[in-house]
Amino acid sequence: MTSPLDPTATRDAAQGALGAEHAAIWCCGLASAFLPAEAAQPLADAALAHRQRRDALIALLEGAGQRATPAAAAYATPRPVTDAASAAALLVVAEDDVAVAWRAVLERTDDRDLRTTGVAAMTASATVGRRWRSLAGVTPEVPSLPGAAPTG
């Protein structure tokens, strides 16, 4: 049944998804300086989708009386970004993080609208991520279980 922790867990998960969207937007900006011209439009589309989900999450949290976690001024990249491949690798990390964060939201809410947004976010992560995985030379081009915690 309902636990008193449930609303808190839902809020924390939504803040986590917001943090992942903030980071993904920042990564798209950094990567835009390194990716080839033919990737510019897909990258712009991906960044727009992240901004829309960011805005939806901020509205959701503020509507619930919560302070939405702001974006950081900059993020530490797991590896230096120096060329197209390393920029694409950063985008792979960002998209995978988004999938993990939204999966956590899905497991903590029964709200159908929020669940639908979460499924769309995870689906976009897998489909957009294909392009970045290919550019970064990562296989397979689609994870078997996007958003699942790595099992080792």
Of positions 22, 31, 53, 90, contacts another protein by CB under 8 A: 53
**Dist. CA 150–CA 146, nearest whole Å:** 10
- Residue 5 as a binder of another protein (CB under 8 A): the answer is no
**Dist. CA 101–CA 104, nearest whole Å:** 5
Binding-site string for another protein from residue 71 to residue 100, where x marks contact by CB under 8 A and - marks none: ----------------------------x-
- Residue 19 as a binder of another protein (CB under 8 A): the answer is no
Do residues 15 and 69 lie in contact, with contact meaning Cβ atoms separated by under 8 Å? yes
- Annotate 83-132 with three-state secondary structure: CHHHHHHHHHHHHHHHHHHHHHHHCCCCCHHHHHHHHHHHHHHHHHHHHH
Of positions 5, 40, 64, 72, contacts another protein by CB under 8 A: 64
Closest separation between CB of residue 131 and another protein, Å?
Answer: 10
The CB density around residue 78, as the number of other CB atoms within 10 Å, is 10
- Residue 111 as a binder of another protein (CB under 8 A): the answer is yes
- Which helix (DSSP H) or strand (DSSP E) does residue 51 occupy? helix 40-63
Of positions 32, 75, 77, 115, contacts another protein by CB under 8 A: 115
Nearer to another protein, 27 or 106 (CB): 106
Residues that bind another protein (CB under 8 A): 1-2, 6-7, 10-11, 14, 49, 52-53, 55-57, 59-66, 99, 102-104, 106-120, 122-127, 129-130, 139-148
